[in-house]
Amino acid sequence: MENIWLFGYGSLIWNPDIPYIDSSAARLDGFVRRFWQGSHDHRGTPKKPGRVVTLVPSEQGHCNGIAYLISKKNANKVFQQLDHREKNGYEKLSINLSLLNDISKTGISYIAKETNQAFLGSASIQSIAAQIISCSGPSGENKDYLFELANSLREYNFIDEHVFELESLVKKLDRTS
């Protein structure tokens, strides 16, 4: 394996926990980020799954995230680690991404497709928010995953209305509960 770019759009943004030799803000065209994947093992339980993000194909859409350059020496170990960490329905996806200044690179990301068993899919923003506020799992509260994501997107000046709308609904529900 050669050095390889890994595109993170969820927890990899604020908690990469992997060795990398370079990183850059990046954009993936043709996909949007959505809280459509069920989480039985991190932010929920099998009985009460939470919701985490996946990539959803969208012709006109794009998803901002962070790309990490993984050395060829570490690539096998890193992808084995991520395959294990994200074993609940995610699979690797070969992508073309744009780094800052529109430099194009090939790379890998993880996607949970609608065919995986844990996929929950679309729902109203209110019902996604209600699910997020009521779930937690071994990695912590589902709402904290959402808040960490929204905060890190803001740090990079990324705009994602789906995430920010959910954040504001969940914060409102939190205040009134």
| Among 2, 59, 86, 148, the one annotated catalytic | 86
Sign of the C-alpha dihedral computed for residues 121, 122, 127 and 128 taken in this order: positive
Nearer to ligand BEZ, 164 or 173 (CB): 164
Task: Verify whether residue 165 is a known catalytic residue.
Answer: no
Residue 38 lies near ligand BEZ (rule: CB under 6 A):
no
Residue among 122, 147, 125, 151 at smallest CA distance from 38:
122
From the CB of 61, what's the least distance to ligand BEZ, in Å?
A: 16
Residue 44 lies near ligand BEZ (rule: CB under 6 A):
no
Q: Which two tokens stand for residue 47?
A: 């009985």
Q: Whole-angstrom Cα distance, residue 177 to residue 171?
A: 10
Nearer to ligand BEZ, 31 or 110 (CB): 110
Q: Please report, as residue ranges, which positions from 86 to 145 form the binding site for ligand BEZ (by CB under 6 A).
A: 86, 90, 110
* Residues 10-23: b if buried by 16+ CB within 10 A, e if exposed: bbbbbebebebeee
From the CB of 152, what's the least distance to ligand BEZ, in Å?
A: 10
Choose, by CB under 6 A, the member of 5, 9, 20, 68 that binds ligand BEZ. 9
Q: Whole-angstrom Cα distance, residue 172 to residue 154?
A: 19
Are 74 and 45 in contact by the 8 Å Cβ rule? The answer is: no
Residue 10 lies near ligand BEZ (rule: CB under 6 A):
yes
Residue among 82, 105, 111 at smallest CA distance from 3:
105
Nearer to ligand BEZ, 41 or 169 (CB): 41
From the CB of 12, what's the least distance to ligand BEZ, in Å?
A: 3
Nearer to ligand BEZ, 11 or 136 (CB): 11
List, by residue number, the catalytic residues: 86
Residues that bind ligand BEZ (CB under 6 A): 8-12, 82, 86, 90, 110
